[in-house]
């Protein structure tokens, strides 16, 4: 599974480390699973005894990606995905994943957090940090034991894609979590406004004869959440926003000094409602894909720092849940293997810089979660990727490493290919995984 536990030197590389504002020709030296030196300064240091030297031929070396939006089927739905099948993460350059608590049983008990951590140690080839449920059974009613769950190893707390509609419950959770310095990750939606809708409300939905979900279902709930954060003085991350009004509410909260950040999926940055085409269920997502104007507004919010973090929103679904009429199909798409390649579309279109794209996938989530990863600083974990930002590749169904195949980018050409993934100083052989 792993190759190379000796010291490692990556030479002839373009080193990009957004956390330290580095974008320069140089090298990276790794020893004992941590970074010894990175950048131009590493060129002047000798290689450790017994080091393996890898010529990167001008490719980019950057911190490994950190994905805050990964659903796993284990426990309860191993046919869709397991921790062992996190190979998809490594191939996509993701070296750290946060697992959602939407398993069966739900991760709302310290023993289940411990189970996830032990399973990850035994089977996963990347770093795995479980999120625990905000409410018992994800039902949105009874608070989980946040203190005990955090002590057991939960890195953050989320109700996954299920919004907490009871304001009293959410403000108590924010207050309780604050006392444990715990991060609340919430996907806000007014379920009554969303109703039975299945895609973005508008002319496109009318043409397809599908029920629509208005933007108000999201941003009204986001505005409520910001007021509750102000009441509780809590630590809040908007799991996934999709419309400019939500971004405006987040920016206002930041200007008011609230401890809030915002995330977005790579799908909502690179796709729009027109991609649904003739009822393509791989494009059915929650929240729904919005208009092209909305997408462009979200890209601008990413560029100006309103949106802090990009995630894959990796949600494996098998054919039994996706091969249905659009209104009846399950929500969700794969994303681990395509997050970086899809994100490169924004760089190639000159919407954002490569350094900014990488920051939203590396140091920004690391800083929000209090992780030492996501940077090439001396002493940081040697979780790295080597990738060619100019190399095109086709998303072929037969080559997807995930057990499920529901990618919205099937048969599309993406640019930016991960060549090598390194976790704790160990090279993962893409051909072997």
Same domain, 134 and 33: no
Residues whose CB is less than 8 angstroms from the CB of residue 188 and which lie 6 or more positions away in sequence, other chains included: 163, 218, 221, 222, 224, 225, 238, 246
Residue 374 lies in a domain: no
The per-residue DSSP string of 8-54 comes to: EEEEEEEEEEGGGTEEEEEEEEEETTEEEEEEGGGGGSPPPTT-EEE
CA nearest to 60, candidates 423, 357, 345, 400: 357
Q: Are residues 303 and 402 in the same domain?
A: no
Sign of the C-alpha dihedral, residues 7, 125, 346, 238?
Answer: negative
Catalytic residue among 313, 318, 351, 398: 313
Q: What is the CATH number of the domain that holds 141?
A: 3.20.20.140
Same domain, 26 and 45: yes
User: What is the CB neighbour count within 10 angstroms for residue 3?
Assistant: 11
Contact 219, 243 (CB under 8 A): yes
- The count of domains in the chain is 2
**357, 408: one domain:** no
**In a domain? residue 118:** yes
- pLDDT for res 83: 67
Domain identity same for 421 and 299: no
Q: Are residues 158 and 33 in the same domain?
A: no
- 261: which DSSP letter? E
Do 15 and 76 belong together in one domain? Answer: no
Q: How many CB atoms lie within 10 A of CB 223?
A: 18
Cα–Cα nearest to 135, from 127, 144, 145, 146: 144
CA gap 95, 61 in Å, rounded: 14
The whole-number pLDDT of residue 433 equals 47
Of 339, 369, 399, at which residue does a domain stop?
369
Count helices and strands in the chain by DSSP H and E runs: 14, 19
Q: Edge-to-edge, what's the strand order for the sheet holding 65-70?
A: 65-70, 94-99, 127-133, 156-158, 184-186, 235-238, 259-265, 309-311
How would you write the pLDDT of the chain (433 residues) with one tens digit per residue?
Answer: 344 478 999 999 999 999 999 999 999 999 999 999 999 999 988 889 999 999 999 999 999 999 999 998 777 777 777 665 568 899 999 999 999 999 999 999 999 999 999 999 988 899 999 999 999 999 999 999 999 999 999 999 999 999 999 999 999 999 999 999 999 999 999 999 999 999 999 999 999 999 999 999 999 999 999 999 999 999 999 999 999 999 999 999 999 999 999 999 999 999 999 999 999 999 999 999 999 999 999 999 999 999 999 999 999 998 889 999 999 999 999 999 999 999 999 999 999 999 999 999 999 999 999 999 999 999 999 999 999 999 999 999 999 988 889 999 999 999 999 999 999 999 986 665 4
CB atoms within 10 A of CB 397: 10
Which letter does DSSP use for residue 58 in this model?
Answer: T
| CATH number of the structural domain spanning residue 53 | 2.30.40.10
Question: Using CA atoms, how far apart are residues 429 and 94, in angstroms rounded to an integer?
Answer: 14
Does 376 map to a domain? no
Whether residue 285 lies inside any domain: the answer is yes
Q: Does the residue 160 lie in any domain?
A: yes
Residue 433 counted as domain residue = no
* Max CA separation in the chain (angstroms): 67
Assess whether 312 and 354 both reside in one domain.
yes
126: which 2 tokens?
Answer: 């990347």
Is 313 catalytic? The answer is yes
Q: Are residues 394 and 411 in the same domain?
A: yes
pTM to 2 decimal places: 0.96
105 with 247, same domain: the answer is yes
pLDDT (0 to 100) of residue 86? 62
Asked whether residue 270 falls in the same domain as residue 291, the answer is yes
Interhelix angle 216-232/244-255, nearest 10 degrees: 10
Same domain, 408 and 278: no
What's the half-sphere exposure (Cβ side, CA atoms, 13 Å) at 306? 21
Domain residues for 365?
63-369
Query: Can you point out the beta strands (E) in 167-272?
Result: 184-186, 199-200, 212-213, 235-238, 259-265
DSSP assigned state of 333: B
What's the CA gap between 371 and 313, in Å, rounded? 20
pLDDT at 237: 98
């Amino acid at each position: 599974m792993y190759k190379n536990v000796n010291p490692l030197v990556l030479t002839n590389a373009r080193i990009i480390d957004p956390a330290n504002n580095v974008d320069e020709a140089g090298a990276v030296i790794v020893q004992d699973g941590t970074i010894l030196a990175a950048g131009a300064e590493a060129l002047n240091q000798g290689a450790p005894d017994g080091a393996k030297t890898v010529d990167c031929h001008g490719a980019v070396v950057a911190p490994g990606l950190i994905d805050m939006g990964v659903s796993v089927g284990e426990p309860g739905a191993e046919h869709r995905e397991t921790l062992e099948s996190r190979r998809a993460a490594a191939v996509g350059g993701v070296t750290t994943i946060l697992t959602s608590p939407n398993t069966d049983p739900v991760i709302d008990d310290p023993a289940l957090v411990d189970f996830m951590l032990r399973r990850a140690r035994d089977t996963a080839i990347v770093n795995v940090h479980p999120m625990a449920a905000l409410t018992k059974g994800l039902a949105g009613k009874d608070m989980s034991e946040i203190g005990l769950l955090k002590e057991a190893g939960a890195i953050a707390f989320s109700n996954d894609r299920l919004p907490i509609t009871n304001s009293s419950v959410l403000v108590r959770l924010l207050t309780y979590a604050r006392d444990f310095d715990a991060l609340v990750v919430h996907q806000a939606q007014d379920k009554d406004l969303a109703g039975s809708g299945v895609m973005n409300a508008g002319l496109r939905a009318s043409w397809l004869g599908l029920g629509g979900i208005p933007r108000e279902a999201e941003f009204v709930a986001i505005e409520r959440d910001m007021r509750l954060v102000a009441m509780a003085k809590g630590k809040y991350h908007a799991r996934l926003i999709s419309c400019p009004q939500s971004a405006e509410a987040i920016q206002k909260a930041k200007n008011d000094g609230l401890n809030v950040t915002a995330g977005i999926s790579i799908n909502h940055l690179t796709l729009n409602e027109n991609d649904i085409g003739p009822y393509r269920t791989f494009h059915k997502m929650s929240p729904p894909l919005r208009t092209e104007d909305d997408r462009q507004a979200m890209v601008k919010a990413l560029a100006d720092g309103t949106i802090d973090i990009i995630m894959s929103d990796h949600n494996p679904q098998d054919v039994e849940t996706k091969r249905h009429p659009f209104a009846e199909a399950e929500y969700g798409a794969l994303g681990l293997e395509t997050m970086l390649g899809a994100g490169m579309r924004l760089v190639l279109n000159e919407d954002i810089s490569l350094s900014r794209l990488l920051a939203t996938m590396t140091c920004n989530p690391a800083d929000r979660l209090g992780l030492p990863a996501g940077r090439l600083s001396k002493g940081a974990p040697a979780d790295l990727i080597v990738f060619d930002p100019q190399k095109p590749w086709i998303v072929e169904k037969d080559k997807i490493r995930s057990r499920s195949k529901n990618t919205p980018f099937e048969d599309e050409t993406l640019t930016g290919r991960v060549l090598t993934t390194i976790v704790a100083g160990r090279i993962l052989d893409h051909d072997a995984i």
